[in-house]
């Protein structure tokens, strides 16, 4: 693993890391460790939990299957980047309704590759959660102190005008022309240059991904971090867990070697919504008296539309996702700007060969807007494979959520035309490949748009170990503790009772912070 200091922040990280971070090259034999608490997974939820527990004076070990990445390790080529930073090389799909879904494998988890969007869900989301899932303390008022603390820690602020770039400002102009509200997206960045590279890793280290924020702070608070360790089993005896065990894993190849075991007084699972249920199932179907482990899988399926404008947009410049509109949240969708490496975006372009080439030549004139949908009628399931930690994901979109997607597509089309687009590329099979008039776009909100004709993406994943006040209907309680175990906690987006309607990272972290403070008192 090359660890090359390229910026001051990487230097900070290395200084903190020297003694307390173990990387793949250091494992030359099987080993055993002990801690007060072991946290599995260094994504946003695991990182904040590890930090708060270490800050409270506990002996914490944070275990991560992926390697650390420094600036020199980032690959601007989107495909190459995905093969290194994502599980299954970024080619993980749901079965049923086929939809790609990306989960990172890296120190920092999803925060390494995400757009740093930090949004608090509106009251209505928590009201639904409280009413339907018998929760008493999971409302905005209770969570706001956690949102505040995390936002301050990560420097969450609205994206400034200087780094918006034309692509994002066209979205603002389109919203203004349609008379709908919009605002600069709040993101966890410090010194963003608007390079539009969040997906392949922030080379200026402006994005406050966990590997440059909460993980180094956890280290400074005394935590130890072990990377390239794949947790395979949660060890348990009676109603208590006793630790974890697994194997060293070679970065990027997934080859396993030496064994390890970590004994702990408490275990916090933050391996992510698709990995945690598999870990539980591989550990004698642990914490599953309710039968809900791996059930209730939900996504925010996303659709996007690219449009060509008369003048150059140079969409590669500007914050990756800098503007949003919450205008349609109550109708089930949120509007955003989007940028990603062109080969990824081109999945929605029509044509092959010369026709596709012609589309690529128009990219300098393009902007892409997307909508994420609250698809809480569409439920799926995470199943464990035999002798593999890669999940099988079954998910099928419900007709009621298809109706929301259609409406969202139509609004995206109108937004582009309102912003002055010359033509739009809806990227939907069964309707025209290219539309030049707002009237033509009406078809997007019709039965001609079928789920099989949509190019969906689902990177927000929820509910597979859901929180529920009733132990027979959920896996964890409001403090993230498994109903069936005294000292087993889950702290990832799997504990959401329902999808949150907005980008989930900040909510996951707020819940993780709350439970870490509770656990710190109990240890
Ligand atoms: C491309 C992309 C863009 C996104 N943009 C945004 C955004 O801008 N804002 C937002 O709010 N959300 C965004 N999201 C979603 C957000 O990143 C996730 O919701 C968030 O990362 C979930 O955090 P988590 O801690 O639950 O899990 P993860 O971030 O998935 O972290 C889980 C960690 O556990 C590790 N792990 C898994 N299994 C094991 C094991 N067996 N042993 C050891 N370690 C293990 C994984 O390697 C991973 O590092 C985006 C997601 C993607 C993929
Ligand atoms: S837009 Fe560029 S500089 Fe800003 S956070 Fe993303 S990758 Fe970093």
Secondary structure of 271-336 as H, E, C letters: CCCCCHHHHHHHCCCCCCCCCCCCCCEEECCEEEEEEECCCCCCCCCCCCCCEEECCCHHHCEEEE
Tell me: the pLDDT tens digits for 305-351?
999 999 999 999 999 999 999 999 999 999 999 999 998 888 889 88
DSSP state of 135: -
Tell me: the pLDDT tens digits for 366-375?
999 999 999 9
Tell me: the pLDDT tens digits for 157-207?
999 999 999 999 999 999 999 999 999 999 999 999 999 999 999 999 999
- CA 198–ligand 2 middle distance (angstroms): 5
Q: How far apart are CA 343 and CA 166, in angstroms?
A: 21
- CA 158–ligand 2 middle distance (angstroms): 14
Confidence of residue 10 (pLDDT cuts 50, 70, 90): low
Ligand at minimal distance from the CA of 260 is 1
- CA 294–ligand 2 middle distance (angstroms): 34
CA-nearest residue, atom 5 of ligand 2 = 207
pTM of the model: 0.96
pLDDT score of 398 more than 70: yes
- For a mutational test of ligand 1's pocket, the pick from 41, 82, 207, 218, i.e. the residue with the most ligand atoms closer than 8 A to its C-beta, is 41
- For a mutational test of ligand 1's pocket, the pick from 79, 110, 390, i.e. the residue with the most ligand atoms closer than 8 A to its C-beta, is 110
Query: What is the percent of the chain where pLDDT is above 90?
Result: 94
For residue 456, give Cα distances in angstroms to 94, 254, 323, 376, 491: 11, 28, 21, 16, 27
**Tokens, residue 37:** 């608490």
Q: How far apart are CA 279 and CA 338, in angstroms?
A: 33
- CA 199–ligand 2 middle distance (angstroms): 9
Strands 256-269 and 488-490 turn out to be parallel
pLDDT score of 432 more than 60: yes
- CA 199–ligand 1 middle distance (angstroms): 13
The residue-averaged pLDDT of 139-150 equals: 96
Q: How far apart are CA 419 and CA 417, in angstroms?
A: 5
Tell me: the pLDDT tens digits for 460-482?
999 999 999 999 999 999 999 99
The residue-averaged pLDDT of 74-99 equals: 95
CA-nearest residue, atom 30 of ligand 1 = 272
Query: What is the percent of the chain where pLDDT is above 70?
Result: 97
Confidence of residue 11 (pLDDT cuts 50, 70, 90): low
Find where tokens 């503790």 sit.
Answer: 481
pLDDT of residue 18: 67
Tell whether ligand 1 has an atom less than 6 A from the beta carbon of residue 402: no
pLDDT of residue 170: 98
- CA 159–ligand 2 middle distance (angstroms): 11
Strands 380-385 and 461-462 turn out to be unpaired
Confidence of residue 12 (pLDDT cuts 50, 70, 90): low
pLDDT score of 209 more than 50: yes
CA-nearest residue, atom 4 of ligand 2 = 192
Tell whether ligand 1 has an atom less than 6 A from the beta carbon of residue 520: no
Residues near ligand 2 (Cβ within 6 A): 116, 189, 192-198, 202, 204, 206-207, 319-320
pLDDT score of 4 more than 50: no
Tell whether ligand 1 has an atom less than 6 A from the beta carbon of residue 426: no
pLDDT of residue 91: 93
Contact predicate 392/385, CB 8 Å: yes
Contact predicate 5/11, CB 8 Å: yes
Residue scoring higher pLDDT (308 or 20): 308
pLDDT of residue 19: 74
The residue-averaged pLDDT of 410-423 equals: 98
pLDDT of residue 387: 86
CA-nearest residue, atom 13 of ligand 1 = 114
CB atoms within 10 A of CB 267: 27
pLDDT of residue 15: 61
Q: In what order do the strands lie in the sheet with 95-96?
A: 95-96, 388-395, 380-385
pLDDT of residue 178: 98
pLDDT of residue 5: 39
Residue closest to 62 by CA, chosen among 244, 210, 227 = 227
Average pLDDT, the chain: 95
Q: Which residues contact 153 (CB under 8 A, 6 or more apart)?
A: 213, 214, 217
- For a mutational test of ligand 1's pocket, the pick from 109, 154, 215, i.e. the residue with the most ligand atoms closer than 8 A to its C-beta, is 109
The residue-averaged pLDDT of 269-283 equals: 98
- CA 466–ligand 1 middle distance (angstroms): 17
pLDDT score of 224 more than 90: yes
């Amino acid at each position: 693993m090359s660890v090359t200091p390229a910026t001051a922040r990487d230097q900070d990280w290395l200084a903190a890391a020297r003694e307390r971070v173990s990387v793949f090259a250091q494992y030359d034999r099987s080993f055993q460790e002990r801690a007060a608490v072991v946290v599995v997974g260094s994504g946003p939820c695991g990182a904040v939990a590890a930090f708060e527990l270490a800050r409270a004076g506990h002996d914490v070990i944070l275990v991560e299957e992926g390697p650390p990445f420094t600036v020199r390790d980032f690959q601007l080529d989107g495909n190459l980047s995905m093969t290194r930073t994502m599980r299954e090389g970024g080619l993980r799909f749901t079965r049923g309704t086929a939809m790609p879904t990306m989960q990172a494998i890296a120190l920092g988890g999803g925060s390494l590759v995400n757009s740093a969007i930090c949004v608090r869900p509106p009251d209505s989301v928590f009201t639904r959660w409280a009413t339907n899932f018998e929760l008493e303390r999971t409302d905005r008022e209770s969570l706001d102190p956690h949102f505040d603390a995390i936002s301050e820690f990560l420097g969450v602020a609205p994206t400034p005008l200087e780094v918006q770039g034309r692509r994002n400002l066209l979205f603002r102009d389109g919203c203004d022309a349609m008379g709908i509200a919009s605002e600069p997206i709040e993101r966890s960045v410090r010194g963003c240059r608007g390079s539009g590279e969040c997906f392949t890793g922030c080379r200026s280290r402006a994005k406050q991904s966990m590997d440059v924020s909460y993980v180094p702070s956890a280290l400074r608070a005394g935590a130890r971090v072990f990377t390239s360790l794949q947790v395979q089993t949660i060890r348990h005896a009676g109603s208590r867990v006793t630790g974890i065990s697994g194997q060293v894993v070679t970065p990027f190849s997934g080859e396993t070697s030496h064994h390890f075991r970590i004994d702990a007084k408490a275990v916090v699972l933050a391996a992510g919504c698709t990995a945690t249920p598999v870990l539980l199932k591989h550990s004698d179907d642990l914490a599953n008296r309710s039968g809900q482990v791996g059930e209730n899988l939900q996504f925010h399926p996303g659709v996007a539309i690219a449009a060509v404008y008369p003048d150059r947009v140079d969409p590669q410049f500007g914050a990756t996702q800098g503007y949003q509109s919450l205008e349609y949240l109550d109708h089930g969708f949120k509007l955003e700007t989007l940028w990603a490496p062109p080969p990824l975006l081109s999945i929605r372009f029509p044509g092959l060969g010369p026709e596709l080439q012609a589309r690529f030549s128009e990219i300098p004139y393009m902007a892409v807007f997307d909508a994420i949908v609250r698809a809480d009628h569409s439920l799926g399931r995470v199943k464990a494979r035999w002798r593999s930690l890669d999940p099988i994901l079954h998910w099928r979109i419900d007709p009621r959520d298809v109706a929301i997607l259609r409406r969202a597509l139509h609004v995206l089309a109108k937004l582009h035309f309102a912003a002055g687009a010359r033509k739009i590329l809806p990227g939907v099979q069964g309707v025209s490949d290219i539309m030049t008039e707002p009237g033509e776009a009406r078809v997007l909100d019709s039965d001609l748009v079928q789920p099989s004709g949509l190019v969906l993406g689902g990177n927000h994943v929820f509910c597979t170990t859901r929180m529920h006040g009733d132990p027979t209907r959920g896996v964890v309680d409001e403090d993230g503790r498994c109903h069936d175990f005294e000292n087993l906690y889950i702290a990832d987006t799997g504990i959401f009772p329902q999808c949150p309607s907005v980008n989930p990272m900040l909510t996951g972290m707020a819940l993780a912070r709350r439970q870490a403070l509770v656990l710190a008192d109990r240890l």
